[in-house]
Amino acid sequence: MLEALTPLGLTEPQTVTIGRFTIIERGDVALASLATRRTRQADVSACAAKAGIPLPAPGRHATGTLAAFWLAPQMWMIEVPFAQADIRADLLAIFGDAASITEQTDAWVRFDLSAPDLIPLLERLSNFDLGRATEGTATRSVIDHLGCYLIKHGPCDITLYGPRSSAQTLHHALSVAANSLL
Amino acid sequence: MTQTNRIQGGQIDRSQSLRFHFDGQPYLGHPGDTLASALLANGVRLMGRSFKYHRPRGVISAGSEEPNALVELRSGARQEPNTRATVAELFDGLSARSQNRWPSLRFDAMAINDRFSNFLTAGFYYKTFMWPAAFWEKLYEPIIRRAAGLGSLSRLEDPDTYDKGFLHCDLLIIGAGPAGLQAALTAGRSGARVILADEDFRMGGRLNAETLALGDQSGADWAAGAVAELASLANVRLLARTTILGAFDHGIYSAVERVSDHLAQPLPGRPRQTLWRIYSQRALLTAGATERPIPFENNDRPGVMLAGALRAYANRWGVAVGQRVAVFTNNDDGLRTARDLAAKGVDVVAVIDPREGGDLLPGIRHLRGAEVVDCAGRLGLTSITIRDAKGRLETLACDALGTSGGWNPNLNIASHHRSQPAWSEALAAFIPGQGGPLGLTSAGAAAGLFSTHACLVSGDASARAALESLGFTATAQALPQAEDAPVAIKPHWYVHSGKGRAWVDPQNDVTIKDIKLAHQENFAGIEHLKRYTTLGMGTDQGKTGNVIGLAVMAELTGQSIPQTGTTTYRPPYTPVALGALAGRGRGQDFKPKRLTPSHKWATEQGAVFVEVGYWLRSQWLPRAGETTWRQSVDREVLQTRKSVGICDVTTLGKIDIQGTDAGAFLDRVYANTFSTLAIGKCRYGLMLREDGMVFDDGTTARMGEHEYIMTTTTANAVNVFRHLEFCRQCLWPDLDVQLISTTEAWAQYSVAGPNARKLLQKLVDQDISNVAFPFMAAGEITVQGTRARLFRISFSGELAFEIAMPTSYGDALIRALVAAGQEFDVVVYGTETLGVLRIEKGHVAGNELNGQSTALNMGLGKMVSTKKDAIGTALSRRVGLTRDTGLRLVGVKPVDPDNSMQAGSHFLKTGAAATALNDDGWLTSTVYSPHLGHYIALGYLKNGTARIGERMRVVNLLNQTEVAVEIVSPHFIDPTGERLRA
């Protein structure tokens, strides 16, 4: 039986606390992109509504039976608890040929960040205006030259998706920024 | 040394003493001092030497505009040259040295230059050192370089770290003087997000340097109260020690915050400085104004200062620069200096005022219609010579002179988008013009409003206007009563009399004479003047001297000052350390790393890694006893061809292409056809640019009716994806195609060699025999129950597969492959072996895909389909690209098998001279082939296909090498492809 490693290269996800900042590597969420096929918006909307899958507006993240955030026009990333995934097969069963679905689980590293105030950390990493962003904001940004997605769940709670191959670089950047605020 | 010049008052903490050294001498100062104020308090006026003539220099200002008092701060790796003593915050243990002098500051041998000033005038380096020409590089330039320059670098690595960051606000306020503080109060009380930045460590601007009252408070106390209130507002961010460096597009401003410069060394983990990128909805420039001097003969002597600076040192820092002080002013603001100093008990020997008539200062010798014409004191001012209204000369003993020629609004930031400043006759100064950065307005002295009352009113009004344009409700604030004196100035740009030199730019030793010379030699345009004389090209960028220089030029040309114009204002406003621009991006953190799925395993094996973009790939994997890379690579190559080898090819770009028009889309982006590809098969594809040159290559597999997986080269993974998105969104939006990169999602390994199938079959759950999984097959499989993909493709020419699994299983897969391959003595190979194998097979790669080559050049002309149109097809058929005599890919081997060849060498016929006319092409890739036992190469040769068997030379003029070669087929092994179909 082959054993999977986390993006940080270990068998179990890592949690690091630096001062008031906690960086949690998440390994329990599967991802797939969902892109509407041409002229099939109504079908995709109907299928999503029936399944309780949100298809949030640009710049937004939403949670229903599954969670999703916006990637591009008529394109979303679907988040599924890992334990119940074969995510692509599950989504194909819901959307059929109305959408193009691509598994993205292993393309990303996910870090959940928490702290009483995350602005000092984020302002050293990204041009994301966390102070102005409302809960449920999802945006693409660049951290340390790496294209990332940032999702604001609450004032103290952010999800960060970055390219998996650079997981260590990204974690290093987060750690250095947190250490500079001790 | 005692602080002989310290007087009462000021905003320093006298309860604490700070020890510091200047040129090895110990001194004492107090918290709140700058290095300059502390030196002046200790009676030190001589702080530096000028750039060219090495003339003695003392401080002239009390701010960031300082051209003279430049020192080397700190020592060892933290040594920092050209630091302005006027903004260096004093800390205990500070160590500073004067610079640009030898052997000492008081006696500088290079001051001999001053004796030759007639030869070292403006533009002297354009006129001299012309011959002999050979002397320039070896003699003249080294001497000039050694003689020039100011501070020195330690050449040690900076031990400190620097951060970068991003800030957001509704209103950015640049400068925390009365206008900026009032604007921040107005905006902060409205609830808007406000950033107030000031380069000083104490906010308040000139309020800290004046004795003027605001309401019933001193200016400094009012400022302190305002800062305290602002600090209590959660929506206001105060950035002291922060200089706004420049205005950029869309309301973005750059700023450097000197987080730790006021400490001996940064606190653990903290940066020395932080470079902020500030995103603002609106910005308000309240950066105040800078005083300018009045040049007269020998006005560069230590002790000759700006009048406002003399006042600032007395009022803010409790320092009387001299015991006997004179003031030379053409405006009423200069009179304040005389009044304030006299009130503090300083002996004001005279106020020299070139303006005729008007009131006289009570109790002070106020000479109307007079001017200072000369001064004395080589290392420090001892006397000035004045000429009174009747033309009589008089020498006055004094050790400090404050000059004031008026004030220039600090409009730099407002002018960063090429806005032309507007001239104000009333102020005799430029004020911000129209067309500056969008969303930026100016207030207070930066806008030419010099009274305290006007600063407060304009700060309040400007903040309200900015906020109301953003939809905030901002109410007018009750403002404290403040002085509202009008500006009273009569322009007096320089003293005309005297044959000596009068300095305009004291750092770069630019004098009135130099400007006249530039005019005489027709460098009269203001940009020419700057470059010919170096006026304003020093670290201070001419903040005190530029307007004087252009006024002098205006006088010479007979034009008005606004007609003469200003030079271009550019960021940064003040010098910024390169470390701050780099941030944390240095050394190992210069760029991110992309690690392949086998990285952990490869590290354990002692692999040698190579950077490929951000990727770290195994270059080769040495084994015990191997002492050279060639030994490792030769082993990897031979063992792969003999048995089986594994290579991590995850770095190849992977793009998931779906949609009912996916096949049609591929037909348009690839030169060859893909819509006819059977499900479960893959095909080599060639992608052209619009101009017909080859853009990229790779294999694309059809995994379903409307589902393809494209692979790209590692180098072009991003470029191809971007290109496909452009095609999809802009060229053919009517096609039903969806794209997403899956490069990161899959770990992919090439398994190549005669035993590749046997090895893989041990792990793959499905039948992968040649019948079940023939050459160019592709499909979904499982490996020990876990989903995977398999492609029957070969880059090496051997029987080969590429197996892919979700990246999380990449580490497990390489270990499983190696374990399963033990019985075959499997090797894992790196990029070097990858290169050898592909060159032996004659496959093109980056060296051949050079952006200037066509499919025909590569021997792939038949891949450009004639049955359909695709990007680049039409232009690939241009006559110039399809001639038989054009370049063709060939194989090359040395006639003498012991000879090596170098890529980049050029083909020449035997006996032909090595000239461009005789050039027949070049070697693109060369390697040693352990399989063949000699070097081999690929190259582009004119009419190459027809020249197989011809003997030629390959010549490398750079390395002075020449090798006799034979042109052969580019397919050195298995030209019929039997191995890969086995």
For B342-406, the DSSP string reads HHTT-EEEEEEE-S-SS---TTS-EEET-EEEEEE-SSS--EEEEE-TTS-EEEEE-SEEEEE--
| B808/A5 CB distance under 8 A | yes
pLDDT in tens, B65-124: 999 999 999 999 999 999 999 999 999 999 999 998 989 999 998 898 898 888 888 888
Q: Is a pLDDT exceeding 80 seen at residue B218? A: yes
Which of chain B's residues have a Cβ under 8 Å away from the Cβ of A145? 591-592, 614
Is residue A84 predicted with pLDDT exceeding 80? no
Largest CA distance in chain B: 115
d(CA B27, CA B479): 43
Residues of chain B found within 8 Å of residue A106, distances taken between Cβ atoms: 744-746, 806-808
Give the bridge partners for B194, in sequence order: B171, B236
- Compute the distance between CA of residue B33 and CA of residue B29 in angstroms, rounded to an integer: 7
* Minimal Cβ distance to A102: which of B166, B656, B808: B656
d(CA A42, CA A40): 6
Q: Is the pLDDT of residue A82 over 90?
A: no
pLDDT digits (tens, 9 = 90+) for B426-437: 999 999 999 999
Structure tokens that stand for B340 in this block:
């304030």
Q: What is the pLDDT of residues B158-200, one digit of tens each?
A: 999 999 999 999 999 999 999 999 999 999 999 999 999 999 9
Neighbours of B822 (CB within 10 A): 9
Alpha helices in chain A (DSSP H): 41-51, 87-95, 119-122, 167-179
**Predicted pLDDT of residue B142:** 86
B784 backbone φψ class: left, alpha, beta (φ>0; ψ -120 to 50): left
Per CB-CB distance under 8 Å, the chain A contacts of B783 are 2
Q: Which of B594, B595, B738 sits opposite A37 (nearest CB)?
A: B738
What Rg value do the Cα atoms of chain A yield, rounded? Answer: 17
Q: Note the pLDDT tens digit of each residue in B512-532.
A: 999 999 999 999 999 999 999
> Tens digits of per-residue pLDDT, B125-167?
788 887 788 888 888 888 877 776 688 889 999 999 999 999 9
pLDDT at residue B718 tops 60: yes
**Length of chain A counted residue by residue:** 182
Backbone phi and psi for residue B726, each to the nearest 5 degrees, phi listed first: -60, -45
pLDDT for residue B476: 84
| Per-residue tokens: B190 | 């409205």
B582, pLDDT greater than 70:
yes
Per-residue model confidence (pLDDT) at position B8: 94
Asked if B806's CB is within 8 angstroms of A105's CB, the reply is: yes
Task: Give the model's pLDDT for residue B147.
Answer: 72
Confidence check: pLDDT of B408 > 70: yes
Contact B740 A35 (CB under 8 A): yes
Contact A38 B807 (CB under 8 A): no
* Cβ neighbours around A28 below 10 Å, total: 11
Say yes or no for a CB contact (<8 Å) between B812 and A5: yes
Instruction: Flag if A180 and B806 touch (Cβ within 8 Å).
Output: no
The pLDDT score that the predictor gives to residue B1 is 53
CA A146, A147, A153, A154 torsion: positive or negative? positive
Contacts of A75 in chain B (CB under 8 A): 738
Q: How many CB pairs under 8 A join A and B?
A: 137
Residues A56-65 have pLDDT tens digits of: 999 999 999 9
Q: Mean of the pLDDT values across residues B442-456?
A: 98
- End-to-end alpha-carbon separation of chain B, Å? 92
CA dihedral B503, B80, B165, B262 (to 10 degrees): -90
What the block records as the tokens of B105 is 């500051």
CB contact under 8 A, A2 and B596: no
Q: How close A172 comes to chain B (CA, Å)?
A: 9
Q: How far apart are CA B810 and CA B824, in angstroms?
A: 21
CA distances from A174 to A115, A123, B589 (A): 13, 11, 13
Q: What is the β-pairing status of strands B70-73 and B80-84?
A: antiparallel
**Distance (Å) from the alpha carbon of A146 to chain B's nearest alpha carbon:** 7
B800 pLDDT higher than 70: yes
| Distance from C-alpha of B287 to C-alpha of B255, rounded to nearest angstrom | 14
Residue in chain A nearest B806 by alpha carbon: A106
Question: Could you tell me the pLDDT band of residue B871, with boundaries at 50, 70 and 90?
Answer: very high
Q: Test B809 with A39 for CB contact under 8 angstroms.
A: no
Contact A75 B738 (CB under 8 A): yes
Tokens of B465: 């206007």
Contacts of A146 (CB under 8 A, 6+ apart): A162, A163, A166, A169, A170, B592
Question: Which residues in chain B have their CB less than 8 angstroms from residue A126's CB?
Answer: 166
What is the mean pLDDT of the segment spanning B232-257?
98
Q: Quick check: B830 and B636 in contact, CB under 8 A?
A: yes
Q: Which residues of A touch B659 (CB under 8 A)?
A: 37-38, 100
Q: What is the mean pLDDT of residues B310-314?
A: 98
Inter-chain touch B806–A126, beta carbons under 8 Å: no
Angle at B119 between CA B116 and CA B124, to 5 degrees: 135
Is the separation of the CB atoms in B621 and B828 below 8 Å? yes
Strand order in the sheet with B681-688: B681-688, B694-704, B707-712, B653-658, B738-741
Which whole-number Å values give the CA distances from B333 to A32, B356, B366, B367, B490, in the listed order?
Answer: 70, 16, 14, 16, 12
Closest CA in chain A for residue B816: A2
Contact criterion met (CB < 8 Å) for B592 and A145: yes
pTM for the full predicted model:
0.93
Query: What are the φ/ψ torsions at residue B375 (nearest 5 degrees)?
Result: -150, 170
pLDDT at B939: 98
User: What does the alpha-carbon distance between residue B284 and residue B449 come to, in Å, rounded to a whole number?
Assistant: 14
Q: How close B395 comes to chain A (CA, Å)? A: 59
Q: What's chain B's length in residues?
A: 982
Residues of B in contact with A168 (CB under 8 A): 593, 595
Instruction: Strand A29-36: give its sheet, edge to edge.
Output: A61-63, A67-72, A75-81, A29-36, A99-103
- Across the range B904-908, mean pLDDT stands at 98
Specify whether the backbone of B625 is left (phi greater than 0), alpha (psi in -120 to 50) or beta: left
* Token pair listed for B643: 């048995």
How many other β-carbons are positioned within 10 Å of the β-carbon of residue B531? 16
Give alpha helix (H) positions in B821-937.
Answer: 831-841, 873-876, 879-882
Can you read off the two tokens belonging to residue B670? 């690839």
Residue A126: which of B166, B658, B742 has the nearest Cβ?
Answer: B166
Range of lowest pLDDT (A53-57, A97-101, B415-419): B415-419
Which chain B residue lies closest to A172 (C-alpha atoms)?
A: B589
Nearest CA of chain B to the CA of A63: how many Å?
A: 23
CB contacts of B816 in chain A (<8 Å) are 2
Please tell me the distance in Å from A113's CA to the nearest CA on chain B: 18
CA dist., res. B788 & res. B779, Å (int): 9
Per-residue pLDDT tens over the stretch B926-963: 999 999 999 999 999 999 999 999 999 999 999 999 99
Residue whose entry in the numeric block shows the structure tokens 């582009």: B940
